[in-house]
A = this chain, B = another copy of it.
């Protein structure tokens, strides 16, 4: 099972039989609206709080995945998920709606791949034959908690990022049609001493590089093995730093191959500054856009590297640095069976 110190190989090839994605109006106006199963015209989603709206986004995504897999909801054996709201209440309340046994996760914006890594490990070893895993974020809920309510209209520096309103989930099974999860490399906490919460991309880039290089080494593959290596939400600035670090380390990842979910989701001209971010960012782009590109044959081997900044408003106020993490999961087509 163990390719290296922190890489798992999934010989039994858990299958992503379906996915579900949901988004808000800003995402509907973005670059990849056709990759969402459900798009809402209003950020409130008919709820009376942004946190409740966030819960509904995740419920929407779960419902879509279950419907596309043509199974009964009761068939879902476990739900693994999380978000960035205090005590991850949107996810826990969605887990109540779903009714499945629930493992709450916290990996900030790395939660999507923490869940897929654990979920694939569980299915690979017959701990379940059908489970859901995913992550969710809501721009206004997160802004209110981490910064200022959006209604204040406060300004931000160009290094800051835009939290995605959206949820993405994958339905994993031990057999079926779909791309398979082939390996996962778990991240360790990397902290380069940065303290600016308006520049998360820079803080997270070294964690992404650390995990990607560990993955390539422990799996024993060249970067060219992957058609796309997609980070979660480094944005423009973090991506540049990661590319610089690869060059320094002689890791031959090309600019074309190295993409970022936070740079795929919005159109040129949308005011997202350095790019998209949030626990939902890598979840919606992976489970929507990237898997659709796999379906079309444009990508055969994909490594998703979800990046997370493990700070809190309080740890920032207490003048702590920003500890970061990245979890990598490989998804491939053509290896089923």
Instruction: Give me the interface of A with B, judged by CB distance under 8 Å.
Output: 1-2, 5-6, 8, 48-49, 51-52, 77-78, 82, 84-89, 92-93, 95-96, 99-108, 114, 118, 121-122, 124-129, 186-189, 191, 310-315, 318, 320, 323, 325
* Cross-chain contact B188 with A86 (CB below 8 angstroms): no
Q: Pick 23 A–B contacts, CB within 8 A, sort by A.
A: A1-B126, A1-B127, A48-B318, A51-B314, A51-B315, A85-B312, A86-B314, A87-B311, A89-B310, A92-B310, A93-B323, A96-B189, A96-B191, A99-B188, A99-B189, A100-B188, A102-B325, A103-B114, A105-B105, A106-B106, A121-B122, A124-B125, A125-B125
* Cross-chain contact A188 with B104 (CB below 8 angstroms): no
Closest chain B CB from A312 CB (angstroms): 4
Q: Contacts of A8 on B, CB cut-off 8 Å? A: 127
* Cross-chain contact A105 with B102 (CB below 8 angstroms): no
* Cross-chain contact A310 with B104 (CB below 8 angstroms): yes
Closest chain B CB from A80 CB (angstroms): 10
Q: Contacts of A99 on B, CB cut-off 8 Å? A: 188-189
* Cross-chain contact A318 with B105 (CB below 8 angstroms): no
Closest chain B CB from A37 CB (angstroms): 24
